[in-house]
Amino acid sequence: MFRTVLPAMTFSLALFCAHGAMAQTSGTAEEARAMLERAVAAVKADQARALAAFNAGAEGFRDRDLYVFCNKLDGTTLAHVRPEMLGVNLKDEKDPTGKAFGSEMLNHAREGEIHAVSYAVPRPGDSQPVAKESFVTRIGALVCGVGYYK
């Protein structure tokens, strides 16, 4: 009996540890919201430095798959984890279902309020779209957000 129980216990422990490791590779809604609140404070303190930190993923503004993005009110992307997104107009962004999530972000962002927008996009480095929710807010002449993958 010991010969059959020990391998089963070892296999169960390995699955449990693997699940815990996988769960830690993605940020949570709470972590995304907290990062956005830190980003708001950083922009208010020094916008140029904050945008540079967001683009570099420095100063705690990149954590696993969480990152800050910022756009001008006209939609032009000023900060994003993917350099190829810089200069892209958020108003033109749609998910594979045709949802115009970019326009929704820009239209619903309000100073002092956080709005959630759900859509589907690939994780950085992937090509397969997955469900994502981003928290967005307006900070002066910017709309900034942080999203997490569901």
Q: Which residues are within 8 A (CB) of 103 and not within 5 positions of it... i.e. 6 or more apart?
A: 90, 91
Contact criterion met (CB below 8 Å) for 115 and 137: yes
What integer pLDDT is reported at residue 123 of this predicted model?
84
Contacts of 46 by beta carbon, 8 Å cutoff, 6+ apart: none
Nearest to 90 by CA among 104, 36, 48: 104
Per-residue pLDDT for 5 more than 80? Answer: no
> Helix, strand, coil % (nearest 5) of the chain?
40, 30, 30
All domains in the chain, ordered by first residue: 29-149 (3.30.450.20)
Q: Which residues contact 29 (CB under 8 A, 6 or more apart)?
A: 133, 135, 148
- pTM, two decimal places: 0.82
Quote the pLDDT of residue 3: 55
What is the per-residue pLDDT for 138? 99
pLDDT 10s digits, 28-73: 999 999 999 999 999 999 999 999 999 999 999 999 999 999 999 9
Report pLDDT digits (tens) over 107-139. Answer: 999 999 999 999 999 887 889 999 999 999 999
Q: List the beta bridge partners of residue 131.
A: 120
